[in-house]
Copies of this chain bind each other. A is one copy, B any other.
Amino acid sequence: MEQGKSTNVVWHHATVTRERREAMNGHKSVILWFTGLSGSGKSTLAHAVEEQLHKHGCRTFVFDGDNVRHGLCADLGFSADDRVENIRRVGEMAKLFLEAGVMALTAFISPFRSDRARVRSLVPHGEFLEIYCRCSLEICELRDVKGLYKRARAGEIKDFTGISSPYEEPEKPELVVGTGTRPLEECVDQVIGLLQERGIIGAFPASDQWAHDNSTSR
């Protein structure tokens, strides 16, 4: 605290730290970086994990194409350079959420190892958890939720990951989830388990680990 010249204004700096925010929230913050092919279930899994975390009082936010591409990255297209810049900004933004004590869940294909490594390097060790949503191209293409594979095969979309542009599998992700073949609930449990192992969140009471719409247990 230093006194401003010739005025009665006292100069403060930031006093609300990440540690104070985490203490208030009752959990640590972290970046959960979901990566995988288009249609592999990244966004679905991220939102399902968020639902469980929110039910247990955690502060979370999911970033995906919907809320980033139309806003912060609205000036970017899909060229190689623009994709790199898109992932860079998402990483920097996730870092600010981390500072704010909020768990940042990101759901982007992010096909290149170098881009993911760059985001990882932005934050201290252990605060970037790479979660590989493993799902074969066959299954992704069969799902084709947004009809993008069909358009990519028809040559209407250039540089489409898995078809005309490579997906570089993570070499040492913190977690691999079988989003192609395993039930969603099981995948969510794996992610929650990772967060508990790492001491990001505490144990959930067994009785309310799941609260499905069709559950009869509560």
Task: Give me the interface of A with B, judged by CB distance under 8 Å.
Answer: 4-16, 20-21, 24, 41, 44, 47-48, 50-51, 54, 57, 59-63, 67, 71-72, 74-75, 85, 89, 92-93, 95-97, 99-102, 122, 139, 142-145, 179-181, 183-184
The smallest beta-carbon distance between A40 and chain B, in angstroms, is: 10
Tell whether A12 pairs with B47 under 8 Å between CB atoms, given A20-B54, A89-B72, A93-B93: yes
15 A/B residue pairs, CB under 8 Å, sorted by A: A4-B41, A4-B145, A5-B143, A7-B143, A8-B184, A9-B184, A10-B44, A11-B145, A12-B48, A13-B47, A14-B50, A21-B54, A21-B59, A63-B96, A97-B97
The smallest beta-carbon distance between A212 and chain B, in angstroms, is: 10
Residues of the B chain whose Cβ atoms lie less than 8 Å from the Cβ of A75: 85
Complex: A143 Cα to B10 Cα, angstroms = 12
Contact A12 B51, beta carbon cutoff 8 Å: yes
Contact A59 B59, beta carbon cutoff 8 Å: yes
Contact A61 B179, beta carbon cutoff 8 Å: no
| Chain copies in complex | 2
Contact A99 B10, beta carbon cutoff 8 Å: no
Q: CB-nearest residue of chain B relative to A15?
A: B51
Q: CB-nearest residue of chain B relative to A96?
A: B67
| Of the residues B4, B63, B180, contact of A7 by C-beta under 8 Å | B180
Complex: A66 Cα to B113 Cα, angstroms = 29
Contact B5 A60, beta carbon cutoff 8 Å: no
Residues of the B chain whose Cβ atoms lie less than 8 Å from the Cβ of A60: 16
The smallest beta-carbon distance between A94 and chain B, in angstroms, is: 10
Q: 11 more A-B contacts (CB under 8 A) besides A15-B47, A21-B59, A97-B100? A: A5-B144, A6-B142, A6-B143, A10-B184, A24-B57, A61-B100, A67-B96, A71-B122, A89-B89, A100-B102, A102-B102
Contact B92 A72, beta carbon cutoff 8 Å: yes
Complex: A16 Cα to B122 Cα, angstroms = 27
